[in-house]
Amino acid sequence: MQNYDVIVCGAGPSGTIAAAKLAQAGLKVALLEKQFLPRHKTCGGGMPMVMQDQLQDLAPEAFVESDVTMMRHTWKFEDAYLGLMNPRSTDERLSLWMVQRPIFDQVLAQRALKFGAELRDGIAVRSVEPESNGVIVRAQGFKTGSEFTAKARYVIGADGANGVVVKATQLRKKPTIALAMEIEHPHQWGEGHADLRPDIAHLEYGAVKRGYGWIFPKGDHLNIGAGAFRPNSLDARKDRALPAQLKQTILDYMDALGVKYDPDALKFHAHPLPIWGGKERLHEGRILLVGDAAGLINPLFGDGILHAVKSGAIAADSIIDEATDEYTNRIHAEFAANFDAALNLARIFYQWTGACYKYGVKYDKATRYATQLLCGELLFTEMAGRAMKRLKRSVGENFFPAFNW
């Protein structure tokens, strides 16, 4: 049996960041990934430019395909509003980076390898067995069938909402799961709607009940998707009609913007999104959950890459500091208050999306505020109360139920 200080299960952003930081600190680290890298990963691939703060040793050119500075908002594919992330009155330039997850994750995995982590891809974790002085991980080669058995002082679960690691614990037994669906569609710039440009992200609010649609520009294609982010039940996957609705929204979005396609050639990819639902324990014994496995997706916007990266770094620091008992508290200190405020706002937004679109999204400063929230330059704890006051002034004091902000 091999021995490690830490075994990280999952080579997405949270796992690779954790592995790199632990290896830099001199710990013996194994980074396990079920698929062979680079591998397809269903994800919109948008992230705030402040990601650079977490990856100062990497040049953005290595993974950024588009630098978005505008958002084109629509309601039922009409009533378009083009919002600027950087109005003329602002000094600090902000933007959203668009990446392809196969490329981005591969860059991060190679970075972890460079810092000394042992990368093993094409190997699927089969079981995680906690013991008093460590954790035994058993895995098997995805294609080769070769066996991997090792013991580590700690295991980091970075293998997503349905991962093996979280199932080996008593953690996150009733998660809130949203559902998103998307396609990657080749695109020649200059074709279709005039606003199909590398610097414009498109967001559609009226076509999906309790969710939204999007079109994100990439180097030579468009990521087109839709998601239900406030499902009627805890798990949106139980809604059997939802996948067909999301598919239709994607097709309607393409039609609305003049994107040519062959319906028989489209490949739809659905994926669950574990949305923040409130404070809960995120470590058990020597097992720590990060990223999607920890439910760290913003309940209003549905973004998760930056939060995953931050949680991976927090998990690594907790192990390096020999303070794993403090891990959950550290995660809550970073995210809980802000995400709780975002959750309150999401409950309003996804129930009264039409009013919120008319009086909130189309507000001339809203796109800038949204970008600041995504970047962490503005907090939901600061913004939620102000947003509700504006909506109540615009729509009427009695339109919305009372909330404590």
Query: Residue 189 CB: number of other CB atoms within 10 A?
Result: 11
Q: Which residues pair with 131 in a beta bridge?
A: 134
* Residues 100/104/107/111 CA torsion (nearest 10 deg): 180
Tokens 């190997």 correspond to 123
The phi and psi torsions of 166 (rounded to 5 degrees) equal -65, -30
Q: Reduce the DSSP state of residue 81 to 3 states and report it.
A: strand
The phi and psi torsions of 335 (rounded to 5 degrees) equal -120, -30
- Measuring CA to CA, which residue among 162, 271, 276, 291 is closest to residue 225? 271
* Gap between the Cα atoms of 297 and 277, Å rounded: 9
CATH topology of domain 2-36+56-63+100-173+277-337: FAD/NAD(P)-binding domain (3.50.50)
Q: Reduce the DSSP state of residue 178 to 3 states and report it.
A: strand
* Gap between the Cα atoms of 236 and 49, Å rounded: 30
* Neighbour order of strands in the sheet with 211-217: 78-84, 70-75, 200-204, 211-217, 221-228, 176-186, 269-275
| Sign of the torsion angle spanned by Cα atoms 59, 63, 66, 71 | negative
* Residues 334/317/281/297 CA torsion (nearest 10 deg): 50
Return the pLDDT at 161: 86
pLDDT in tens, the chain (405 residues): 899 999 999 999 999 999 999 999 999 999 999 999 999 888 999 999 999 999 999 999 999 999 999 999 999 999 999 999 999 877 899 999 999 999 999 999 999 999 999 999 999 999 999 999 999 999 999 888 889 999 999 999 999 988 999 999 999 999 999 999 999 999 999 999 999 999 999 999 999 999 999 999 999 999 999 999 986 677 899 999 999 999 999 999 999 999 999 999 999 999 999 999 999 999 999 999 999 999 999 999 999 999 999 999 999 999 999 999 999 999 999 999 999 999 999 999 999 999 999 999 999 999 999 999 999 999 999 988 888 788 888 877 666 555 443
DSSP state of 194: T
* Gap between the Cα atoms of 347 and 336, Å rounded: 16
Q: Tell me the CA distances in angstroms from 64 to 52, 67, 68, 77, 118, one per residue in order.
A: 11, 7, 10, 28, 26
DSSP state of 147: E
* Gap between the Cα atoms of 70 and 197, Å rounded: 10
Is 65-96+176-274+352-405 CATH 3.30.9? yes
Backbone dihedral region for residue 291 (phi beyond 0: left; psi -120 to 50: alpha; all else: beta): left
Q: Is 65-96+176-274+352-405 the same fold as 2-36+56-63+100-173+277-337?
A: no
* Gap between the Cα atoms of 85 and 9, Å rounded: 36
Q: Where are the domains of the chain?
A: 2-36+56-63+100-173+277-337, 65-96+176-274+352-405
* H or E segment to which residue 124 belongs: strand 123-131
For residue 56, give every residue at least 6 positions away whose Cβ sits within 8 Å of its Cβ, in sequence order, or none: none
| Sign of the torsion angle spanned by Cα atoms 58, 153, 138, 314 | negative
The phi and psi torsions of 280 (rounded to 5 degrees) equal -160, 160
Q: Tell me the CA distances in angstroms from 155 to 303, 313, 319, one per residue in order.
A: 25, 14, 10
Pairing status of strand 147-157 against strand 287-289: parallel
Return the pLDDT at 215: 98
